[in-house]
Amino acid sequence: MLDYFALGLLVFVGLVLFYGIIVLHDIPYEIAVHRNHPHQDAIHATGWVSLFTLHALWPFLWIWAMAYREDRGWGFGDGKPVQNHVIRLEQQVVELQARIERLEAQSPVAPHSDSRGI
Protein backbone atom coordinates (compact mmCIF):
# COMPACT_ATOMS: atom_id res chain seq x y z
CA MET A 1 0.00 0.00 0.00
CA LEU A 2 2.80 2.42 0.89
CA ASP A 3 4.53 1.60 -2.40
CA TYR A 4 1.50 2.73 -4.38
CA PHE A 5 1.24 5.92 -2.35
CA ALA A 6 4.93 6.69 -2.96
CA LEU A 7 4.51 5.97 -6.68
CA GLY A 8 1.44 8.22 -6.84
CA LEU A 9 3.30 10.95 -4.98
CA LEU A 10 6.25 10.71 -7.40
CA VAL A 11 3.93 10.94 -10.41
CA PHE A 12 2.10 13.90 -8.85
CA VAL A 13 5.34 15.76 -8.04
CA GLY A 14 6.67 15.03 -11.54
CA LEU A 15 3.53 16.40 -13.19
CA VAL A 16 3.52 19.49 -10.96
CA LEU A 17 7.17 20.19 -11.82
CA PHE A 18 6.60 19.58 -15.53
CA TYR A 19 3.57 21.86 -15.80
CA GLY A 20 5.02 24.34 -13.31
CA ILE A 21 8.01 24.94 -15.56
CA ILE A 22 5.69 25.48 -18.52
CA VAL A 23 3.58 27.95 -16.54
CA LEU A 24 6.74 29.70 -15.36
CA HIS A 25 7.88 30.14 -18.94
CA ASP A 26 4.53 31.66 -19.87
CA ILE A 27 4.97 34.55 -17.43
CA PRO A 28 6.65 36.86 -20.01
CA TYR A 29 3.86 36.07 -22.47
CA GLU A 30 1.22 36.89 -19.87
CA ILE A 31 3.00 40.18 -19.15
CA ALA A 32 3.03 40.93 -22.89
CA VAL A 33 -0.70 40.20 -23.19
CA HIS A 34 -1.45 42.39 -20.17
CA ARG A 35 0.58 45.28 -21.65
CA ASN A 36 -0.86 44.78 -25.16
CA HIS A 37 2.66 44.21 -26.48
CA PRO A 38 2.97 44.25 -30.29
CA HIS A 39 5.25 41.16 -30.20
CA GLN A 40 3.04 38.88 -28.09
CA ASP A 41 3.23 35.93 -30.46
CA ALA A 42 7.00 36.17 -30.82
CA ILE A 43 7.43 36.27 -27.05
CA HIS A 44 5.18 33.23 -26.67
CA ALA A 45 7.05 31.26 -29.33
CA THR A 46 10.42 32.21 -27.85
CA GLY A 47 9.19 31.04 -24.46
CA TRP A 48 8.69 27.56 -25.93
CA VAL A 49 12.10 27.69 -27.59
CA SER A 50 13.58 28.68 -24.24
CA LEU A 51 12.28 25.44 -22.75
CA PHE A 52 14.51 23.52 -25.16
CA THR A 53 17.56 25.78 -24.74
CA LEU A 54 17.87 25.16 -21.01
CA HIS A 55 16.04 28.39 -20.21
CA ALA A 56 18.84 30.61 -21.57
CA LEU A 57 16.40 32.95 -23.34
CA TRP A 58 13.93 33.30 -20.50
CA PRO A 59 15.52 36.32 -18.73
CA PHE A 60 15.66 38.18 -22.04
CA LEU A 61 12.00 37.36 -22.66
CA TRP A 62 11.12 38.93 -19.33
CA ILE A 63 13.01 42.12 -20.27
CA TRP A 64 11.47 42.12 -23.76
CA ALA A 65 7.95 41.79 -22.36
CA MET A 66 8.53 44.51 -19.75
CA ALA A 67 10.10 46.99 -22.20
CA TYR A 68 6.79 47.98 -23.81
CA ARG A 69 3.86 49.75 -22.24
CA GLU A 70 0.81 50.82 -24.18
CA ASP A 71 0.72 54.32 -22.68
CA ARG A 72 4.37 55.23 -23.43
CA GLY A 73 5.42 52.70 -26.06
CA TRP A 74 9.03 51.58 -25.82
CA GLY A 75 9.93 54.48 -23.55
CA PHE A 76 12.82 55.79 -25.59
CA GLY A 77 11.25 59.14 -26.41
CA ASP A 78 11.20 62.24 -24.26
CA GLY A 79 7.47 62.81 -24.66
CA LYS A 80 7.86 65.82 -26.92
CA PRO A 81 6.22 65.89 -30.35
CA VAL A 82 8.34 64.70 -33.25
CA GLN A 83 7.86 68.05 -35.02
CA ASN A 84 10.01 69.77 -32.36
CA HIS A 85 12.82 67.33 -33.09
CA VAL A 86 12.50 67.89 -36.84
CA ILE A 87 12.70 71.67 -36.44
CA ARG A 88 15.76 71.35 -34.20
CA LEU A 89 17.46 68.99 -36.66
CA GLU A 90 16.74 71.34 -39.56
CA GLN A 91 18.35 74.19 -37.61
CA GLN A 92 21.40 72.05 -36.95
CA VAL A 93 21.69 71.19 -40.65
CA VAL A 94 21.57 74.88 -41.60
CA GLU A 95 24.24 75.70 -38.99
CA LEU A 96 26.48 72.86 -40.19
CA GLN A 97 26.11 73.92 -43.83
CA ALA A 98 27.10 77.49 -42.92
CA ARG A 99 30.09 76.18 -40.98
CA ILE A 100 31.20 74.04 -43.92
CA GLU A 101 30.94 77.05 -46.24
CA ARG A 102 33.06 79.15 -43.83
CA LEU A 103 35.69 76.42 -43.58
CA GLU A 104 35.81 75.97 -47.35
CA ALA A 105 36.19 79.74 -47.80
CA GLN A 106 39.13 79.82 -45.36
CA SER A 107 41.19 77.20 -47.18
CA PRO A 108 40.62 77.29 -50.94
CA VAL A 109 42.64 74.14 -51.57
CA ALA A 110 41.75 71.95 -54.52
CA PRO A 111 40.21 68.63 -53.55
CA HIS A 112 42.69 65.79 -53.16
CA SER A 113 42.87 63.61 -56.23
CA ASP A 114 44.17 60.11 -56.46
CA SER A 115 47.17 59.20 -58.59
CA ARG A 116 44.79 57.05 -60.59
CA GLY A 117 42.82 60.11 -61.64
CA ILE A 118 39.75 59.29 -59.63
Residue 54 pLDDT grade (very low, low, confident, very high; cuts 50, 70, 90): confident
Residue ranges per structural domain of the chain: 2-76, 79-107
Residue 71 pLDDT grade (very low, low, confident, very high; cuts 50, 70, 90): confident
pLDDT tens per residue, range 32-42: 999 999 999 99
pTM recorded for the entire structure = 0.61
Element (H, E) at 48: helix 40-52
Query: Measured at the alpha carbon of residue 36, what is the angle toward residues 34 and 37, in degrees to the nearest 5?
Result: 110
State how far the Cα of 61 lies from the Cα of 43, in Å rounded to an integer: 6
Q: What is the mean pLDDT of residues 11-32?
A: 95
